[in-house]
Structure 1
Amino acid sequence: MNAVITSEQLPLYSKIFDDQRDPFKDAVAAIELAKKTDRNVLLKIGGNWCSWCKKMDAFLTENPDIYQSLHSEFVLLKINVSDSNENTEFMNGLPPVLGYPHMYVSTSAGKMVLSKDTAEFLNSGEYSREQWITFIDQWKADSTKNL
């Protein structure tokens, strides 16, 4: 793994759900960064209202090895979906959301390779380290080149 990645080094679109951000511009920026750094893009759909989104962020903070691996292998793009801004036009271009948070994996070429119900990360009502480690390994850029 490369140097330690801190929150301060991440683009704003990787850190917060913001109903004022343009998801199309953020997606273009995330894909450009993914191309430059040989990573896939991980789209996380949710919002500040979403308790499971907050639990996922807390899980990643409490598991720094998984946090580092996630940000080393993916450009994280948080897309806000809320009463104040459903980002309907952007969301209509994606497969249906099954619940929140919902995740998609895109290659750096913009090809969608996965729609993921994040309930699959749970074990006994908590996010599972094993599920996250498997997910990162299975869907990182090196593993999806031939899809």
Structure 2
Amino acid sequence: MKKLTLAAFLGVSFLAFSQESKTPEKRDTDKALLVKTDHAELDAKKKAAEEKAKLPKPYDPKADAQADIDRLVAQAKKENKNIMIQAGGNWCIWCLRFNQFVQTTPELKGIVDKNYLYYHLNFSPDNKNEKIFAQYGNPGDKFGYPVFIVLDKNGKMIHVQQSDVLEQDKGYSLEKVKEFFNQWTPKS
């Protein structure tokens, strides 16, 4: 116990000495770096908020998600389509970016419209849809958001896809998203 106390004392003493031994110029440089970092972080947050404000908000926290999914299953059986559930929320910039990417990329929109019924499953403080997420193994807890849950035409979960592997730079990769969508189209 005495060795531990002595080691702790020496560690704290060293830390205090190292801070005192900095020159005024070094302390000023450290402060300047902190201020610069804070400004860069604030600028990034501001840009993200501006981007988020411009993007469509497809998630409805007031929706009865179970009833919506039940209707989609009935429709999927008739149309021989799978169901693509994009889970996330209007608070999630990556969720909004993905939605915008798919909606404004004709090649992706064509694949989705031909093969899937698409649903935005809300997860937010207003409505966490805990029962529905539990049915699918709570993939958001494991992968974050957005996360994609693919159901066959009978409503059976056939795949869960994390989204970070589909990213490229500050957006999504056309090739990776196209491959993902094509991989889970209905099997005849």
Give TM-score, length-normalised by structure 1.
Answer: 0.82
TM-superposed CA distance for 1:124, in Å, is 3.2
Counterpart of 1:56 in structure 2 is: 98
Counterpart of 1:20 in structure 2 is: 62
Aligned CA RMSD, in angstroms, stands at 1.5
TM-superposed CA distance for 1:51, in Å, is 0.4
- Gaps of at least 5 residues in structure 1 are 1-14
SS of equivalent residue, structure 1 residue 108:
coil
Give me the whole-angstrom Cα distance separating, in 2, the residues matched to 1:58 and 1:41.
Answer: 18
TM-superposed CA distance for 1:133, in Å, is 1.4
Residue type of the alignment partner of 1:126: G
Give me the whole-angstrom Cα distance separating, in 2, the residues matched to 1:46 and 1:71.
Answer: 20
Give me the whole-angstrom Cα distance separating, in 2, the residues matched to 1:54 and 1:16.
Answer: 8
SS of equivalent residue, structure 1 residue 116:
strand
Residue type of the alignment partner of 2:95: C
SS of equivalent residue, structure 1 residue 141:
coil
Q: Is 1:73 matched up with 2:115?
A: yes
Q: Is 1:121 matched up with 2:166?
A: yes
Give me the whole-angstrom Cα distance separating, in 2, the residues matched to 1:120 and 1:70.
Answer: 19
1:40-55, aligned counterparts within 5 Å?
40-55=82-97
Q: Deviations over 1:30-87 (max 9, x none)?
A: 1111111111001110111110011112212331121121121110011111011111
Give TM-score, length-normalised by structure 2.
Answer: 0.65
Counterpart of 2:155 in structure 1 is: 110
Residue type of the alignment partner of 1:62: T
1:31-46, aligned counterparts within 5 Å?
31-46=73-88
Counting matched residue pairs gives 129
Give me the whole-angstrom Cα distance separating, in 2, the residues matched to 1:133 and 1:87.
Answer: 28
Counterpart of 2:40 in structure 1 is: none
Structure number with larger C-alpha Rg: 2
- Gaps of at least 5 residues in structure 2 are 1-56
SS of equivalent residue, structure 1 residue 110:
coil
Counterpart of 2:135 in structure 1 is: 93
Give me the whole-angstrom Cα distance separating, in 2, the residues matched to 1:116 and 1:51.
Answer: 18
- The structure whose residues are more often strand, as a share, is 1
- The structure whose residues are more often helix, as a share, is 2
Q: Report if aligned partners of 2:111, 2:182 keep a CA contact under 8 Å in 1.
A: no
Counterpart of 2:41 in structure 1 is: none
Percent pairwise identity: 27
Counterpart of 1:30 in structure 2 is: 72
Q: Which runs of 4+ in 1 moved over 6 A?
A: none
